[in-house]
């Protein structure tokens, strides 16, 4: 049986690398990537402070970059990996994109979209979470501990 090199944990580690870039820039550390056929086609990290733009979340940056790359506003056959549960704005954007699959790491009970339910996503979008949960949660905990 061949070894699957590119699994969800592999891609989530790439999203974590993006989150670390956000942290290094003083931004809340959230990172995202978009894959298509096991290839990374877009990356993004939170840049709300640097760009002074509340919409500059990792997911929005990654999904618009992926649409640019594909020349198509729809992300059919794509997976978005993100270190933190998306907020309702990002869930709404992902719904419009019709992305095939969303994988997130840490939960966000206060700001995450799950408070409003999966109906915020496109009905065809598959959802998984908890991948590298501890590493993804640690990003946030460490960031806010250092802020204090």
Annotated binding site: 57, 87, 90
CA-wise closest residue to 133 among 33, 16, 28, 22 = 16
**20, 27, 59, 135: the active-site residue:** 59
Known binding site for Zn(2+): residues?
A: 57, 87, 90
CB of 94 to a copy of itself, least distance (A): 9
104 or 132: CB nearest a copy of itself: 104
7 or 119: CB nearest a copy of itself: 119
The residues of the shown chain that bind a copy of itself, judged by CB under 8 A, are 48, 52-55, 60, 63-64, 67-68, 71-74, 87-93, 95-97, 115-116, 119-120
CB of 67 to a copy of itself, least distance (A): 6
Active site annotation includes 59 = yes
Q: Which residues, including other chains, have CB under 8 Å from residue 81's CB and lie 6 or more apart?
A: 8, 11, 12, 14, 15, 32, 33, 34, 35, 103, 104, 131
CB of 73 to a copy of itself, least distance (A): 5
6 or 96: CB nearest a copy of itself: 96
Catalytic residues: 59
């Amino acid at each position: 049986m061949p070894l699957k090199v590119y699994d969800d944990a592999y891609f989530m580690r790439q999203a974590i690398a993006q989150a670390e870039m956000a942290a290094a820039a003083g931004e809340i550390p959230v990172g995202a990537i978009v894959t298509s056929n096991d290839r990374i086609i877009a990356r993004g990290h939170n840049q709300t402070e640097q760009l002074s733009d509340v919409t500059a979340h990792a997911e929005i940056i990654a999904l618009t970059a992926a649409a640019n790359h594909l020349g198509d506003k729809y992300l059919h056959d794509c997976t978005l990996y993100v270190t933190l549960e998306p907020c309702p704005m990002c869930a709404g954007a992902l719904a419009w994109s019709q992305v095939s699959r969303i994988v997130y790491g840490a939960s966000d009970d206060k700001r995450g979209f799950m408070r409003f339910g999966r109906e915020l996503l496109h009905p065809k979008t598959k959802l998984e979470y908890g991948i590298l949960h501890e590493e993804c949660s640690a990003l946030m905990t460490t960031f806010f501990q250092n802020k204090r």
